[in-house]
Amino acid sequence: MRVLVTGGTGVVGTSAVRALVRHGHSVRILSRHAGREEPDWPAGVEGWAGDVSNEKSIRGSAKGCDVVLHLAGIVEEAPPGRTFQSVNIDGTRYMVLEAQRCGVRKFVYLSSLGAERGQSAYHKSKYVGEDVVRAFTGDWLVLRPGAVYGPGDEHVSVLLQLVRTLPVVPTVGNGEQPFQPIWHEDLAEALALAVERDDLRCATYELAGPEQTSQNDLVERFRAITGRSAVQGTVPEMLASWGVRALQAIGIEPPISDAQVSMLSEGNVIDPGGRNALTDVFAIAPTRLADGLQWLADDQPEQLPNEGVGDLRRKRFWVDMRDTRLNAEQLFEYLREHFAELMPSLVQVKDDHGAMDPLEEGQTVTMEIPVRGQIQVRVAEVMDGRMTMLTVAGHPLAGAVRFLVEDVGGALRFEIQVYERSATTVDGLVMRTIGSRLQQGVWTGMAENVAKAAGGIASPVQSEAATLDDREATVVQDWAAELSGQLSRNAASSGRG
């Protein structure tokens, strides 16, 4: 059957689209940036450029579709354009009307666990959306999942990044507020089944993972996964909400939204004796929390140059060598096989899975950096004497690092090219002070170590830095986005993810 998916580009949407394709359905994605995003979608998926909050833009999007899977929604407002009223409520109403105009037989709506009792503005808007969906004249389903976690989610992934990068991890209130998270791929499979099962109609189902957890429990689990000993600092709920708004007022993006602070205080679990439709209705074996958190730690999304703040800069570090014992091809392979050893001693490269050598495309490298904590980069390209890594969410920089080994004017050159923006305003302040000096020392030290490994006579390590103009920045951003897209396509075709 043909399925129209709204919100098909987020954590839930991306997994849901892949699940629908695996089930043999034709998929059309309604997205504000359909033309730009379409190359990253699975083969055969088509796009429709439109915004659920703009009724005119979605006209015709459901034509020829059997089911609408309405996932689009926001958890934090950005007035005046993106509000709970305009997106979660009006957007749902517009999609229901569009489905009725086009003769769609079934409407599946993604709500939120606790929507019927929650007092946060987000939960209230999702509950109103449920009432809108129940007025649909065809078959409908309302699904209420627990907090969805997966690479790039806005709650559990953020907590992981805090454990990795901060000496003190802030938790809201006493940190014991219970919630029952669900792995994104489990929810995606349930959504695909909800679309195609004719026996499921005009009903509301709650779905969650097999275990309850809390902020404190997750921090403890992430400490074990990452090997970091970050301590916790509790922040009263009222102060946490005030602090979020204060940071936003001065242009700093906080690690948790004001709406999330409110939702944490409400809890997010299936009531005792309640029915978990993930297992009872959809017969899905749920992912154990321990497994999901480990996968999450391995699979955080790339953090691309266009996602950073400030100017995009290029830095180069290079050393020229003569009379070396290794030629260009041999030195490049040595780099892939001994990357951890070639990094300066102040940077500890973690071998999470005992498979560090040689570096391959898709592999994630975790490093412990003084002051910053753990950062990650992902190998996006290995070919023809060059290896490119993209920064991963939680890194202080949004960008790419390319390592080159080539013959230049009779000499063997090893070069490091860094393309970077600061990930956040705070990271920008750090990079302009101790961060920049630390970075200079790391890459200079690595170039010196590579020269020693190659043997022969080496020049002093040289470096230069420049701010890219708009045209140059666009070229770099497009290049990094294409590498990231290819990684996603490779992950999708290889199985999980």
> Residue 244 above 70 pLDDT?
no
Give yes or no for residue 129 having a pLDDT over 80.
Answer: yes
Q: What is the pLDDT of residues 389-432, one digit of tens each?
A: 999 998 889 999 999 999 998 999 999 999 999 988 777 777 77
Least confident of 16-25, 242-251, 342-351: 242-251
What share of the chain has pLDDT > 90, as a percent? 67
Within 10 angstroms of residue 115's Cβ, the number of other Cβ atoms is: 22
- Tell me whether strands 397-408 and 2-6 are parallel, antiparallel or unpaired: unpaired
What are the structure tokens assigned to 75, written together? 């958890």
Q: Residue 311's closest CA among 469, 199, 177, 186?
A: 469
In this predicted structure, the answer to whether residue 242 has a pLDDT above a threshold of 60 is no
Q: What is the mean pLDDT of residues 166-195?
A: 89
Q: Which two tokens stand for residue 389?
A: 């890594």
Q: Does 300 have pLDDT greater than 50?
A: yes
CA distance 252 to 374: 21
Residues 29-69: tens digit of each pLDDT: 999 988 778 877 888 999 999 999 999 999 999 999 999 99
Q: How many angstroms separate the Cα of 411 from the Cα of each of 115, 319, 403, 406, 463? A: 66, 10, 17, 8, 17
Give the pLDDT score at 43: 86
Third-level CATH fold of 305-494: Alpha-D-Glucose-1,6-Bisphosphate; Chain A, domain 4 (3.30.530)
Average pLDDT (63-87) is 93
148 confidence band (pLDDT: 50, 70, 90): very high
> Do residues 349 and 363 touch, judged by C-beta distance below 8 A?
no
Instruction: Tell me the pLDDT tens digit for each residue of 356-389.
Output: 579 999 999 999 887 678 899 999 999 999 999 9
Per-residue pLDDT at 262: 61
So what's the pLDDT on residue 250?
41
Q: Where are the domains of the chain?
A: 2-298, 305-494
Please name the CATH architecture into which domain 2-298 falls. Answer: 3-Layer(aba) Sandwich (3.40)
Nearest 5°: the CA angle 194, 50, 306 is 100
Specify the long-range contacts of residues 273-278, CB closer than 8 Å, at least 24 apart: 274/206, 275/205, 275/206, 276/206, 276/207, 276/208, 277/143, 277/190, 277/205, 277/206, 277/207, 278/182, 278/186, 278/187, 278/190, 278/207, 278/208, 278/209
pLDDT value at residue 42 = 87
Burial class (CB in 10 A: 0-12, 13-18, 19+), 196: middle
* Tokens found for residue 362: 């898709």
- Whether the CB-CB separation of 207 and 114 falls below 8 Å is answered with no
pLDDT value at residue 370: 76
